[in-house]
Structure 1
Amino acid sequence: MDNFCLPANLAGSFKHGIHSFSFALRWGDMDMLGHLNNTIYFRAMEEARIEFINAIRPCFEPGMGVVVGHLSCDFLRPMNYPGNAMVLHELTRMGRSSMEHKITIEKEGEPGVVYATARSVLVFSNLATGRSSPWTEQMREIIQKLFSQE
């Protein structure tokens, strides 16, 4: 796809097939034990997902969008304030109307120390009917290009 141009604000967030997103932790995100509340991991994954979906949103026909078909998270170690959570998405499967990601959550400044792992399935859908719809060839090319950049 010769005319594909990744928006400048997304260009640095895709590297070696992985989308990375830094999510700033707030003191109020902690639970009574001083650990990042479990709901905040899902909020961080949501913010990261929105960032990379925005790269393909211009290709959507009116009334079409991406919905979450599955999202699960395994909490491996407690994360604490202050700092930033790093959400890393790796495309593991591209289906007819869905895509699956392996997600790793680390803390910025601690590369390779995994705090949580997750799995998500996103489905391209007609938002009025709630039915899945196949990816267009253009969207498929863009998604694969985003998640295969060197």
Structure 2
Amino acid sequence: MTDTDRIAGLLVDFPVRVEIPVAWGDMDALGHVNNTVYFRYFETARLACFGELGLGQVGQSDGVGPILHSASCRFRIPLTYPDTVTVGARVGDVGEDRFAVLYRAVSHRHDAVAADGESLVVTFDYQTGTKARVSDELRVRLRALRGDAE
């Protein structure tokens, strides 16, 4: 089994994947990647997920777009330079005005899961400054990316 196959196996349930090199500057004084950087890795994957969902620039037509409600991370192994992480993203639960995005960061150097995370994304009307309902069209795309059968 190749390294690529092992990485893909750890991300089998994550249809959106981005590869990110670990930068020297990502590390902190303790010699490992700073905890805040993992949230940047997740952000990169979330934006790739938004691209797959067709969530472009906010305010394209109706002024409704995504806004981050909360984010969490479960650190599993420390990352260090040099390394590359592949971060997978997938859609979790879908609610009336929100949906979850789940993440997994996999270290190429260690062939192991470095972190798992989750964020809650609210659909937000930027014109009125209030939450908005997940549109039927977006709901269909979220379910399709999640792999739900209709």
What TM-score does the superposition give when structure 1 sets the normalisation length? 0.78
RMSD over equivalenced CA pairs, Å: 2.4
Could you tell me which residue of structure 2 aligns to residue 81 of structure 1? 81
1:19–1:147 Cα contact (<8 Å) kept: no
2:68–2:120 Cα contact (<8 Å) kept: yes
Could you tell me which residue of structure 1 aligns to residue 129 of structure 2? 130
2:83–2:108 Cα contact (<8 Å) kept: yes
Which of residues 26, 29, 45 in structure 2 aligns to 1:29? 26
Instruction: Give the Å deviation of 1:90.
Output: 2.7
Instruction: Give the Å deviation of 1:45.
Output: 0.7
Instruction: Give the Å deviation of 1:33.
Output: 2.2
Could you tell me which residue of structure 2 aligns to residue 47 of structure 1? 44
Q: Distance in 1 between matches of 2:24 and 2:147?
A: 36
1:76–1:114 Cα contact (<8 Å) kept: yes
Q: Distance in 2 between matches of 1:16 and 1:42?
A: 20
User: 2:88 matched to 1:91?
Assistant: no
Could you tell me which residue of structure 1 aligns to residue 4 of structure 2? none
Q: Distance in 1 between matches of 2:41 and 2:31?
A: 18
What TM-score does the superposition give when structure 2 sets the normalisation length? 0.78
2:106–2:115 Cα contact (<8 Å) kept: yes
Consecutive unaligned residues of structure 2, counting only runs of 5 or more, are 1-10
% same residue: 26
Aligned length: 135
